[in-house]
Chains A and B, each alone.
Chain A
């Protein structure tokens, strides 16, 4: 088991946000966390990634195990170079004052082997040709879709084998959403494990292997993507009939 979250309880100050969330991710999977606004999906991701408050809540109890090791002991920057896991945060959060290339180079901050980095960069540019066209432009001058590609590219450049994405389709045109998920699928086929939080349940379920449905800080349902997609309640609540 790659990632195992056990009975995770966390609170923002006195407001409890997660009421005992449990789920797991196997190596090589695409797992989707779906649910309505405020269900605690993004909160779960940020808690896994150990972001300091106020970004993420304080963990009260529970465990987050990655290959059997407790992640609660580590700081966010350590997750990247120790465990090769990277996050694509909600709202992209790319570095507007750095060029596209510099954004990507920064992601290799703790990596040492420059020939591997160069290979990864070339592979990334074949994956996202648009980024190569814009590589000397500042991040802030990119369009929303391009920024999302850059955010994904940045996570890849850390050398991560496990990528967590927080609402990647937000603000993207439908065509770009599909495009983005196709790229994620392609990455997954090449061995990257993916955990994606997504409001667009139909889109996420189309590409994921398994899914968890969250509601008010709890996991209320789990199953393969097909099972979840065919569940009457899910259809009613999240897929619009």
Chain B
């Protein structure tokens, strides 16, 4: 029974938050922060797969997020709303509620394919190439979007609010809050499954010693591609959610700055620690919100705290441990791959 406690607790939390939002107990600002926490959890957990568990260095996570965001936004606006450029709604707007997961999935798949394109050349060689290529891809994605008039170019793309409104007309629920929660839980489940599988041991083995992993029959190149596709795909999911939360996206939201935020969350939480990634995503999002009154000085304070972190706790909050390693009693509440 105990092993279901975590699942039940998550469900209760979901119902409570959704309920609180639906009955107006949570004001719009707190809702937004809560949703951003979800998106950031997805971003940091998925990046941790590559930078933490696998020990490679990807620094263009925002690029894949942008792919997911634009693909799912364009799809949902094209299918469900009347838009100046994309024409009349192809499907009845009421269907938006049912088809939204498929739209998010389309963004996820598109981002995963973009990830594959990056993975093919960069995993042919070992070393730091991935960092350079992902950095370049981040810029390429951003400038492609900036120069594509069909999706609004540098002005950005909007219309997703109408889709969300269409969902609310079918049933008066805080839909985006629900989708973000589902997306976050889905991501964490997928990643936990992945890292505790043989594949997961494979990527940790690649971090420890790639040659030895290859000698132990691990097809390292393919495994690295699979992991990278999973990671970039989930970044696309985060992008899709992010776009529909705001209702407006522009290339400026997916710059190297955003990628850096993702990196910060991974290293803050600890490389190779899923609970670390969740904690740091929550902490980092809240911290940025708390420091908002400082305005520009925020960007002095946050990096300074990072320097302190690197000096005094270079392995991040959790190192490569999970919460259940620090508090063994927690282990009874959920099953992990580790015995």
Contacts and interface: CB of A to CB of B under 8 A. Distances in A.
Given A105-B198, A136-B339, A86 B215 contact: yes
Interface residues of A, number: 30
A230 B320 CA distance: 54
Interface residues of B, number: 22
B276 to A, nearest CB: 15
A97 B320 contact: yes
The 6 closest A-B pairs by CB, nearest first: A80-B217, A93-B212, A95-B208, A76-B214, A95-B205, A110-B217
Contacts of B215: 49, 51, 76-77, 80, 86-87, 89, 93
B33 interface: no
B202 A106 contact: yes
Nearest to B199: A109
Contacts, number: 77
Nearest to B205: A95
A81 interface: yes
B108 interface: no
B207 interface: yes
A77 B220 contact: yes
B201 A106 contact: yes
A94 B212 contact: yes
Given A76-B214, A95-B205, 14 more contacts: A51-B211, A77-B215, A86-B215, A86-B217, A87-B215, A89-B212, A95-B208, A97-B204, A98-B208, A101-B339, A106-B213, A106-B218, A107-B217, A158-B217
Interface string B217-233: 11110000000000000
Interface of B: 198, 201-202, 204-205, 207-209, 211-220, 272, 320, 338-339
Contacts of B209: 93-95
Interface string A102-113: 100111111000
A96 B209 CA distance: 9
B216 A80 contact: yes
A97 B208 contact: yes
B115 to A, nearest CB: 22
Contact of A55 (B211, B216, B219): B211
